[in-house]
Amino acid sequence: MYIIHEVVRELHVLAMEFQVHIFLVVHPKQTVMPTQKIQLNDLKGGAGINQYVDNILAIRRIDRCDNLNNTEVEVSILKNRMFGIEDTIKLIYNHEVDGIRS
Structure confidence by residue, pLDDT tens digits, 17-74: 999 988 888 888 877 776 778 888 888 776 778 888 889 899 888 866 566 667 888 8
Q: How confident is the model at residue 88 (pLDDT cuts 50, 70, 90)?
A: very high
- CB within 8 Å of 8: residues ≥ 6 apart: 24, 45, 48, 49, 51, 52, 53
Strand partners, 88: 76
Residues of the domain holding 41: 2-101
In angstroms, the CA 75 to CA 77 distance is: 7
Number of compact structural domains in the chain? 1
Give the global pTM: 0.75
pLDDT for position 67: 64
